[in-house]
Chain A
Amino acid sequence: GNSVTQMEGPVTLSEEAFLTINCTYTATGYPSLFWYVQYPGEGLQLLLKATKADDKGSNKGFEATYRKETTSFHLEKGSVQVSDSAVYFCALSGLSGGSYIPTFGRGTSLIVHP
């Protein structure tokens, strides 16, 4: 079946540091890939997406590139802010039994200190 593996957290950084959160996946066919962010007490919000190989999703300074050859979709940001502190989930949406069912990773907590 489909699966998503994310790096273990928490990731602790100082403000303006470079961020990478690794994500790899296993899926049949050609899934769409997503990063979601969850702030305390809230549901998940879509951060960015990519629907085919070599696509780059970007939003709010975050970027991720769909790498089919390495089955990866690593999240990066050049300069993090305290307000980026949250839990980040990598997810894929692939065909299962005729419909698209999302599969989520376990999440990576990011803590940014001033």
Chain B
Amino acid sequence: DAGVTQSPTHLIKTRGQQVTLRCSPKSGHDTVSWYQQALGQGPQFIFQYYEEEERQRGNFPDRFSGHQFPNYSSELNVNALLLGDSALYLCASNMGGSNQPQHFGDGTRLSIL
């Protein structure tokens, strides 16, 4: 039973570029959440997708956008990258957006030069 998988594991970009990160949820899960984790900090909620729609959004600018596909996988897109976007981006999944624990992937480490 595959858990949450994310790709790529590492990525290096320069300021102003755009990036797409990908996530496949754990089998049987239909809700995907994205988090940004800066070094030494806890995960900060970006947004959550359920039934291919953005259900909730944290305090992140419109440069951060996402998508969920019919197979429940998801993408996170970040435009006009800034140095401050350097972080570990975590994807998590659970069922129906419930208060059940989330299952996390190992993340994508994004470095902006």
Report if A100-B99 is in contact (Cβ < 8 Å); known contacts: A43-B4, A43-B104. yes
Q: Is there an interface contact between B45 and A102, defined as CB atoms closer than 8 Å?
A: yes
Flag whether B101 is at the interface (Cβ < 8 A): yes
Q: A31 touches which one: B41, B42, B99 (CB < 8 A)?
A: B99
Chain A interfacial residues counted at CB < 8 A: 29
Q: How far is the CB of A97 from chain B (nearest CB, A)?
A: 6
Q: B56 touches which one: A89, A97, A105, A107 (CB < 8 A)?
A: A97
Query: Interface-forming stretch among A12-20, A45-53, A65-73, A75-83?
Result: A45-53
Report if A42-B56 is in contact (Cβ < 8 Å); known contacts: A102-B33, A104-B42. no
Q: Is there an interface contact between A44 and B43, defined as CB atoms closer than 8 Å?
A: yes
Q: How far is the CB of A96 from chain B (nearest CB, A)?
A: 7
Flag whether B21 is at the interface (Cβ < 8 A): no
0/1 interface trace, chain A 32-60, chain B, CB 8 Å (1 if under): 10101000011111100101000000000
Flag whether B55 is at the interface (Cβ < 8 A): yes
Flag whether A99 is at the interface (Cβ < 8 A): yes
Query: Can you give 17 contacting A-B residue pairs, CB < 8 Å?
Result: A31-B99, A32-B100, A43-B104, A49-B101, A51-B99, A93-B99, A94-B99, A95-B99, A99-B56, A99-B97, A101-B45, A101-B56, A102-B33, A102-B102, A103-B45, A104-B43, A104-B44
